[in-house]
Amino acid sequence: INAEYGDRIFAMTSIKLRRISPTEVVTLTTKTDPVDPDTLIKTKPIVDDVRKRGDAALLEYSTKFGDLKNGESHLVKLSELKEAYDSLSAEVKETLQRTAQRIRQFAIAQKQCLHSLSTPISGGTAGHTIEPVERAGCYAPGGRYPLPSSVLMTAITARVAGVSHVWVASPRPTAVTLAAAHVAGVDGFIRVGGAQAISAFAYGTETIPACDAIVGPGNIWVTAAKQLIAGRVAIDTLAGPSECLVIADHTANPKVVAADLLAQAEHDVEARAILVTLDEKVAEAVDKELTQQLLTLTTADTALKALDNSFAVVTKNIDEALWVADQIACEHLELHIDKASDHKLKLKHYGALFVGHNSAEVLGDYGAGPNHVLPTRAAARSSGGLSVFTFLRIRTWMEIDSLPDAQSTVRDAIVLARLEGLEGHARAAEHRILTEKTTSQSKASVLTHLKPSLINLPIYSPIAPLEERAEELGLDLDELVKLDANENLYGPPPEVLEVIVKANHHIYPDPSQLKLRTALANSLGVHFDRIVCGLGADDLIDLICRIVKPNPIIISSPCFAMYSYSAGVAGLPVIDVPRKPETFDLDEEAIKVGIKKHQASILFITNPNNPTGHIVSNDVIASFCEENCLVVVDEAYTEFTDQNCQELIHKYDNLIILRTFSKWAGLAGLRVGYCIAHQDITRVLLSIKQPYNVNIAADFAARICLEKKSVIFETVKQIRLERERLMKELQKFNFIKPLPSHANFILMKIVDGKSAHQLASDLRSLGVLLRYYSSSELKDYIRVSVARPQDTDKFLWALNMVSSSKLLSSLNGFKPEGVLLDMDGVLVNVSLSYRQAIIDTCKSFGVTVTMQDIDNKKAQSGFNNDWVLSQSLLKDKGVEVLFEKCKDKFEELYQGTETVLGLWHKETLIPNRSLLKFLKSKGPVAIVTGRPKLDASQFIRQHKIAEFFDYVICDEDTVNHKPDPEPVIKALELLQINKAIMVGDTPDDIRAAIRVPAEKGKVIGIGILAPNKAGDEEMRKSLLSAGASCVISDLQELRLLFN
């Protein structure tokens, strides 16, 4: 057959797959080494060189092999990944997002089938925990056909497993490959491939972290490198050429079978497409279709060569066909046979199975859900494909807490140890042998009395108390801005506090909360028997989980963690149907499918959702209520929006609405909530709840809040207005993408390559507490509560400081052992003392000088001493005054006389005491000042700050003074350190720091703008010109250095 393809003419005879018999299959498919010895020998020097020389070797090989141009960086910025994504058409972007979501959902379902284990053993308990590796490297081929789908398959699976740092390597990546990495939410991307990329991931370089697991398909050099580093790190598989086996009977469509075989053959000239059929006529029909379809296949050259490696097997019956498939243990196995589902469990060895005529292997390749990174070369006999399990570690543990009950185990260990010739082992076990006396005094493990399902239940991690946070951060309580728990910082009305004081605390409260339920009923317009009160809404979530059948609950993450926690306590399985990525919209159809498939007992919905702030329409809630399960709508934040679903409560008996007084009413500390539900549900809840679950203070306070609802709603109105203000302010930061919110918080996505975790940590070090989530879907997000205007102001101040700070980048990894601080302008506001003394000294000699004159003089070298500076200013104006005379006048003004108060009384401390205490907790601190000892000690005593400094270096302590480095060198010697930072407000402070000789130590100068110089660009430039690594505007910024 002669066929024209493009402007090429190629001759092709009719295709006929080589036929082999079932018995020949065994010899034909014997396992071979995944990498030939010659390739391994050539690969090893590359791997070793990158291990030894790091980035230098990586760049050298990547340039040599064509991955990089000369001078091109191997690192791709996260902002470049976003730009690549934004450059794609809407159709491609939506395809990537949908595919990612399917992969993510399947991986989540896989992870949910794994559980920690705790089981009794003789004398105690044993079990396992399941933990992800910390760092993963994912390889995606470049080559002839780049595989962005491999980026999604590997990186998303790693992220779902819980891997905290996910990197991708791909040589010469296309825009779609980069965009896929953005969608997957990777932490790093390198545009190199081959053995050098695998080695960089395995051993780490100066710019690439060493990974704990390396996954993804690649060429023979990648596979060889993976074989060399296997054992040091976990790998998925040693992949060979791709392969697909199709079992087809008379029901198969030859066109579809041929198309599926060609889809495999076009991968690579070494690929294999295998047909196993019960009928030679089916094989002939497939041969004919292969011939026809190759005529128009754009990848025909590759596919045609791959068919030379391929073959067909004709078997007597279906059982023999299944036996042949098991012998080959193929990467992909398709069943195009009658009643395919009846046979799937008979098969033992395959990478991935595709059951039935519609289950194309190509759908698995492109994200139906299961992973496409699979074992080849019969490796499916011993391993499976890539999954969340690849990134998880099973860690076993045991605890013997009843040695008498373990005596049989101890004695067996002694015998086995001596049989193996390990006397040390035997003696170690003998130390656990008990005498008859000690045995009788011991008792059995208390864990044997507990439910195994609860022994290792994770403890719920609530927000830490303020006092604990303040102590940890080295801050006073009033310096903290608490924006991490969505509390109403306005607090309740004063009448609440009055009624709490007057309550009869010695009398038990009403066990049924009848008055509170009646007040709620009147406020809501429902009968009181539809209401149950609880110790916050959490109490009611727990009660609801305990009244249902032991069927799974459905949640849609990200959402409130208490649903899963309470379900775990009640022994209910949890099925997560995640919200859609990026938009965080509910996947309505998937939720309904989940309810039916798992016969769910409860569907939990937070509305507005925490932490995203999204709202669900009542039509959607009503559609969920049509399903056969309880629908619990948590309206903890409903007062901050204009919607609730109470109108549905009389229509749907399976609807439960949760609400709380914690948010709108400011009663978070008193814990009171309630639910509205059908009487049959509330009757059961009332029968099992603790009788006094709402204390008397909470009961009284909640009723007062209902009476004062109109007053409190003015506060709610203010919070909603503040939410609008905060949203507008956040939009001014180019690295923050705030999500629309209907609650008293805003979820912010941190973009442009910035780390959400680091940003939250930096803000926390400045006393601003926000909520950061470490889960894979929220690792790039921070939630900030909406509070009072002054709280927003402090948050924005800290955000501006962190975003504009050059401190850390300017230090370039420098780790100081101590801190040196100048005094004037750094610790002491001298604008009304020393500076005024300079002005008044000059004035006494008939010369007028300004603050600008003083600044200009201090910008020059050698004027750190204010006496010298004053004399020089006088001289500049043509007035010659003796130094001693000038000095005496200055001191008279500064120290004062018997009748006139000295200017030193006007000095104030610039940083607060908590900052000084914090710096002292991080290492030695010294003051390096040009002040006389009298002036320095006078201020230190007055403000009681001596405890925060190890030494004070004053004017009299050295022969030479700043800008000479002698005072700084003396401080290093006294503190017995070699590395420090020196913070000063004048160029001479900086010069003194950076002039320290290398043999004496290393000091980096950090400039700071004195209080009267805030925003002074000329002073900033002067400090930088003197050699400052950066200039800060607030000493609080040093907290970022020690964060």
- Spatial separation of the C-alpha atoms in residues 802 and 758, rounded to whole Å: 10
- Spatial separation of the C-alpha atoms in residues 798 and 1034, rounded to whole Å: 11
How many other CB atoms are there within 10 angstroms of residue 184's CB atom? 28
- Spatial separation of the C-alpha atoms in residues 821 and 983, rounded to whole Å: 5
- Spatial separation of the C-alpha atoms in residues 374 and 542, rounded to whole Å: 42
Name the token pair of 324: 């042949």
CB 531 within 8 A of CB 679: no
357 is catalytic: no
Helices (H), 474-534: 494-502, 514-524
Name the token pair of 243: 């392969």
- Spatial separation of the C-alpha atoms in residues 509 and 506, rounded to whole Å: 9
Residue matched to tokens 């002005």: 839
- Spatial separation of the C-alpha atoms in residues 293 and 848, rounded to whole Å: 97
Q: Choose the catalytic residue: 332, 372, 742, 961.
A: 332
Reference 796, options 743, 732, 751; nearest CA is 732
Name the token pair of 708: 């004062």
CB 485 within 8 A of CB 668: yes
Q: Are strands 165-169 and 979-984 parallel, antiparallel or unpaired?
A: unpaired
Name the token pair of 480: 């903290």
Buried b (16+ CB within 10 A) or exposed e, 815-845: ebbbbbbbbbbbbbbbbebbbbbbbbbbeeb
Reference 213, options 223, 221, 201, 197; nearest CA is 201
Name the token pair of 932: 């006389």
Single-letter code of the amino acid located at 321: A
Q: Choose the catalytic residue: 243, 266, 331, 361.
A: 331
- Spatial separation of the C-alpha atoms in residues 786 and 611, rounded to whole Å: 13
Q: What is residue 351's three-state secondary structure?
A: coil
DSSP structure class, residue 663? S
Name the token pair of 10: 């190629």
Name the token pair of 738: 């705030």
Reference 64, options 206, 151, 211, 171; nearest CA is 171
Q: Are strands 630-634 and 392-400 parallel, antiparallel or unpaired?
A: unpaired
Question: Which residues, listed in sequence order, are joined to residue 675 by a DSSP beta bridge?
Answer: 532, 658
- Spatial separation of the C-alpha atoms in residues 484 and 745, rounded to whole Å: 9
- Residue 431 CA neighbour count, 13 Å, CB half: 5
- Spatial separation of the C-alpha atoms in residues 235 and 214, rounded to whole Å: 5
What Å distances lie between residue 305 and 25, 273, 301, 406, 901, CA to CA? 21, 11, 7, 65, 99
DSSP structure class, residue 687? H
- Spatial separation of the C-alpha atoms in residues 571 and 443, rounded to whole Å: 29
Residue matched to tokens 């295709």: 15
Name the token pair of 713: 């709603």
Stretch (H or E) spanning 603? strand 602-606
DSSP structure class, residue 420? T
- Spatial separation of the C-alpha atoms in residues 755 and 761, rounded to whole Å: 10
Instruction: Provide the edge-to-edge strand list for the sheet that holds 745-750.
Output: 736-738, 745-750, 781-785, 771-772
Residue matched to tokens 């101590």: 818
Residues 728, 734, 739, 745, CA torsion sign:
negative
- Spatial separation of the C-alpha atoms in residues 1000 and 957, rounded to whole Å: 18
Q: Which residues are designated catalytic?
A: 331-332
